[in-house]
Chains A and B, each alone.
Chain A
């Protein structure tokens, strides 16, 4: 692994199903983030984690949950998917939190909820 990876690359999901998007980084970064990107709206923060064991809510957290059991992994779970959750999801990480420093992005997961 080099940098930050996400899985799956893309997924088509029936409404009401549960889905976990995976994110792993090998840079030992403290902070991690989940964004969704929709046409014309830019990136919106769903949840974040400033360090392992802590998480926080972003701008659009409803319908999503996260956990940060260790430094490397930050999975995002949709408990019961709805069509409005159709989007491209990006995981990112940074050395520190606090809005300073570069964020490194994974390649994204394209999710379609039907």
Chain B
């Protein structure tokens, strides 16, 4: 089966600019996650979707970050305006319904904010 697809793989922007990342999960996976991984740290959950509904967005900085999954399939994560501390790898993951919690990860989108 095809894996989790993410784009772009790399993005460099100036602070205060905006950026958007796209994720297409594995077909049939109802749950989709966005994680932020800062260099040297473990991934931190930003938002979790179940189909097109938000399950957990408690750690999403809502003043600048937004995410949507309108049709319950692919998802977009947006940052506007970006700050220097947003430099990180943004990982998308998905899991199958009724699974054991195993996540399938994409290769990530590396953001550098200058």
A and B associate in one complex: no
